[in-house]
Structure 1
Amino acid sequence: MLVEKTTKNKLPIKEGFRILSFIFAAILVSACSSTINFPNSEVIPAADAKLKVEKNDNNNYELEFEVENMAEPDRLTPARRNYVAWMETEKHGTINIGNLRINRKNSGEIRTVTPYKPIRVFITAEDRQDAVTPSTQVVLNSGEFKVK
């Protein structure tokens, strides 16, 4: 009787190797990103904000800022027209990264890419969305952080 060799044992090893490779890649990618949860705001206590910062293959920083339970800026005292997101950088000062629009569900988001290393992100209430310098009416502040 002729016994055939089977490769049944090799298939699970190959599959296991693929799974381990995928897990290693996921860990490697997640090691390059940071998630920052903003502390409670004294101005808008119900606001819940988080920021994800990731350095990409081009050595740029991808920022994803999301906020929930955010009051419209015209409900603040004093009332304003816009929320503006600002990024404080390691070497290039403070930069306006965009207007934070709040939708009907009281949430909003900003996604941007920058060559500058961020060390802090904060939101101010402004009369103009194209403000060059931030007002003193800071409504959310990440505090200083380090990007991995």
Structure 2
Amino acid sequence: MNRKVMTIEKAKSKLPIKEGFRILSFIFAAILVSACSSTINFPNSQVVPAAEAKLKVEKNDNNNFELELDVENMAQPDRLTPARRNYVVWMETESHGTINIGNLRINRKNSGELRAVTPYKPIRVFITAEDRQDAITPSTQVVLNSEEFDAD
């Protein structure tokens, strides 16, 4: 029994250098990928207190920013006071102002998602209730707000 344990231990200690380098490279790549993305949790909202929103921002190889917004427990916009038809997601940028990045559709399970890619560096994302999904400026009815963040 002792002999088998020693043989296994010797075999483990003789891992080829190439294999060890490959393992270290994989670990380094995983750390690098996770370092290039940020996850932002939105604070609780007074307008829709049960809503939970999470935003993932990642800079891709083309120096664009990929945004993935996931929302759960969000009331339909027609249940708000005053009632609205749409939720619009806005992105405040470092140098290009506030941009409408899309309509957030809420399904029957009160959740929704929005995916967007932009060349502009986001510093804040917020959701407003709107009558039109193609609004040019946000209304004052802010439903969720990420607060400012650093997307580098």
User: TM-score, normalising length from structure 1?
Assistant: 0.91
Q: Which deviations, in whole Å up to 9, do the C-alpha atoms of 1:108-130 show, x marking residues without a partner?
A: 01111000000000000000001
Whether 2:61 is the aligned partner of 1:57: answer yes
Cα offset for 1:12? Answer: 4.7
Name the Cα RMSD after superposition: 1.5
**Identical residues among aligned pairs (%):** 87
Q: Which deviations, in whole Å up to 9, do the C-alpha atoms of 1:124-146 show, x marking residues without a partner?
A: 00000010100000000000111
- AA matched with 1:145: F
| Match for residue 17 of structure 1 among 21, 45, 66 | 21
Give the number of the structure whose residues are more often helix, by fraction.
2
Cα offset for 1:104? Answer: 1.2
What CA distance in whole angstroms lies between the structure 2 residues aligned with 1:144 and 1:116? Answer: 15
What CA distance in whole angstroms lies between the structure 2 residues aligned with 1:19 and 1:38? Answer: 36
- AA matched with 1:51: L
Alignment of 1:99-114 (within 5 A): 99-114=103-118
Cα offset for 1:90? Answer: 0.3
Q: Which deviations, in whole Å up to 9, do the C-alpha atoms of 1:80-107 show, x marking residues without a partner?
A: 0000000000000000000000011111
Alignment of 1:128-147 (within 5 A): 128-147=132-151
- Structure 2 unaligned regions, length at least 5: 1-10
1:121 match: secondary structure: strand
User: TM-score, normalising length from structure 2?
Assistant: 0.89
- Structure 1 unaligned regions, length at least 5: 1-6
